[in-house]
Amino acid sequence: MIAEKKMVAVPDFRYSPHIDHVGVEERASRFTKRSIKAETKVNGLKLTLNMIDLTTLEGKDTDGKVKQLCYKAQHLHDAHQGLPTVAAICVYPSMVSVAKKTLGDSGINVASVATAFPSGQASRDVKIRDVKYAVNNGADEIDMVISRGRFLQGDYNFVFDEIAAVKEACGTARLKVILETGELVTYDNVRKASDIAMYAGADFIKTSTGKVTPAATMPVTLVMLEAIRDFYYKTGKMIAMKPAGGISKSKLALHYLVMLQETLGEAWMNNHWFRFGASSLANDVLMQLEKERTGVYQSANYFSID
Amino acid sequence: MAERLEVLKTYKIYIGGQFPRTESGRYYVAKNKKGQALANVCLSSRKDVRDAVGSARNAVGGWSGRAAFNRSQILYRIAEMLEGRRAQFIDELVKQDSSPKDAENEINLSIDRLIYYAGWCDKYQQVFSAVNPVASSHFNFSVPEPTGVVAIVAPQNFSLLGLVSVIAPVIAGGNTCVVLASEEKPLCSVTFAEVINSSDIPGGVINILTGKPSELVKYFADHMDINTVVYCENDAATKKLIQEKASLNVKRVFFYDTINWKTDEGQSPYFIADTQEIKTTWHPIETVGSAKAGY
């Protein structure tokens, strides 16, 4: 592993590309102008469902709530035949074993946030143990948060080393690195943090915890997708992307898919390489799919609460 | 000096406390009987219906949760605002073929009708509630509760009075509504939306669309998030369509097709009761020893 890592020369992150603020927002808004109708829309919506990390990250989460969410993941809307399942359930480390047991061999992954989520304000030792606890309980994916404070202080080595250490602790679990873009202030910082995360060993880069506003936005996601593209050109290694927080409408999800397709291309258009971190998105997508199937506008009353 | 050009009003629709144009970008020309063009009016589409229902649904919780007395105050406030705009409404009614006398009468009746329903806001509950005798130790009572989102196809003939007569009882009862205004006489509906917008009515409680019933009734009837449909015309095929589609989610359906809105027949607490659900509660009461059950 170490020998392999050394083959990729780690650049000086101070020289990460600068982002054209106006240009990126302009470009991102273009993706919202595509007309996606009928069959294409249905396929897009089904793909969206299949990319969702159904999430519950609250202090009040109980075993019962997590079991219910796991049931929902497997039975999104039984009245509608042939729907895919979601990609994963995303929970706190203490809920991993319950989720793992409930999901069984359904093929749905268990993702766990770790490393003192959502603030990340803890010692490295605590963070590593948090990760190992989740992994030992059966988590397939780990969502870590970077130390934003250290990053903003310019202590990039610290952030890099921390991600690398967590990656090591993950073992075979895939690592998602949450940048918490809402706290990074500028697109330049987002780009820089993306580069650090990818070179340090991230399997995914993820926008937000969902606990800070603004969470995922299209321009921020575009900056990260472009970082992934540049990284791919440089190293030949594919990195996955997960926008999270604030994506609750299916139309917006379709805009994201358009952006993904037009930035990274076909190879990324599946749930191995792209996820939506969301809780209420699933029901909105289901309502749209039912609208397409039955021809009538739907009511939230007829869909399960997760 | 050049003669001044009059600034004409853009007649837009009213959704969620905003005045957007129809998302479809379409319009039709409202004309009077002589064929003179009065205004370009939004020809709303099914997506406007969808948006309006979304706004109405979001507003249900807040509006139905208000104190009945507060709803009463707000209805009264609409009447106050309407009074202040009386000249504008008379002008529009006359443009739409009313005689000045009829126009005056219609605005008076409309204001009075709002006051009438303002009064009923905190009273219909007593009238339609009941304590029911039951053969067990329960306190059993029934109370009306708002049904939710009400879709209304307003009367064609009375541009203002018809609109007020169907909206007032619905919102007095704590429902929110999506109204399709008179297709032939749409001017007053848009101006009435401006009145509502300055009357403390929360955004989304009343949504007013202009357009063709023939195009939009279907979506009123089959939208799963609408709880009641009110239809004020007498078209047999449309009535049948509404009844069939409404069965999808068991909507309440009311046809106010024979009502003369100019008379007292046009106002009654039973219009409020139409869009209410009756909830019955069984409340256990204590039985101490061999004593009789008491409240």
pLDDT in tens, A208-232: 999 999 999 999 999 999 999 999 9
pLDDT score at A256: 98
Note whether residue A303 is domain-resident: no
Question: Of B150, B169, B149, whose CA–CA distance to B269 is shortest?
Answer: B169
Into how many domains does chain A fold?
A: 1
Architecture label for domain B27-284: 3-Layer(aba) Sandwich (3.40)
Identify whether A41 is a catalytic site residue: no
Place of tokens 């294409």: A40
**Among this protein's residues, is A206 annotated catalytic?**
yes
Average pLDDT, chain B: 94
- Domain range for A259 is 2-293
Going by pLDDT thresholds of 50, 70 and 90, the confidence category of residue A57 is very high
Residue B272 at interface with chain A, using a CB cutoff of 8 Å: no
Whether A300 is in a domain gets the answer no
**Is residue B135 a contact partner of residue B280, using CB atoms and an 8 Å limit?**
no
Instruction: Look at residue A170 and tell me if it is in a domain.
Output: yes
Whether pLDDT at B289 is above 80:
no
CB-defined contacts A:B, below 8 A: 26
Which DSSP category does A280 fall into?
S
CATH number at residue A190: 3.20.20.70
b/e per residue B106-133 (b: at least 16 CB within 10 A) = bbebbbebbbbbbebbbebbeebeeeee
- pLDDT reading at A1 higher than 50: no
Cα separation of B86 and A42, whole Å?
51
> Which member of A72, A206, A284, A306 is catalytic?
A206
In a domain, A10, yes or no: yes
Nearest to A302 among B49, B223, B224 (CB): B224
| Short-list A274, A183, A270, A172, CA closest to A228 | A274
Active-site position among A167, A192, A242, A306: A242
User: For strand A88-91 and strand A109-113, is the pairing parallel, antiparallel, or unpaired?
Assistant: parallel
The amino acid at A6: K
- Would residue A305 count as lying in a domain? no
How high is the pLDDT of residue B293? 53
- Structure ipTM: 0.86
